[in-house]
Amino acid sequence: MDALSANEAKTQFGDMLLKAQRAPIQINKNGKPVAVVISMDEYESIEALKLRFLQSRAVQAQMDIKAGNIVDGDSFFGTLETDQYD
């Protein structure tokens, strides 16, 4: 992934937008990564993946309820939090 300083991103904004259509661009401030610029297509793909994940979790929850496999809320939300990093 290409990386630019925040100042470079500002001064080369148009070029950065063109490059982001091909690959993500990391933006660094004071030498630390603070943002990533991605194409709209890539953003929409990420959002679609998130939606499919949530839909699959909802379907699984409905099946679990019907089967009597019920857990308390803390346990359920704890599972959601760990799933996002798997």
**pLDDT tens track for 19-68:** 999 999 999 999 999 999 999 999 999 999 999 999 998 999 899 889 98
Round to the nearest angstrom and report the end-to-end CA distance of the chain: 22
Q: In this structure, are residues 26 and 3 in contact, taking their beta carbons and an 8 Å threshold?
A: yes
Q: In this structure, are residues 50 and 29 in contact, taking their beta carbons and an 8 Å threshold?
A: no
The whole-model pTM stands at 0.68
CA atoms of 9 and 60, how far apart (whole Å): 43
DSSP alpha helix (H) spans, 1-86: 6-11, 13-20, 40-67, 73-83
Please indicate whether residue 84 or residue 49 has the higher confidence score (pLDDT): 49
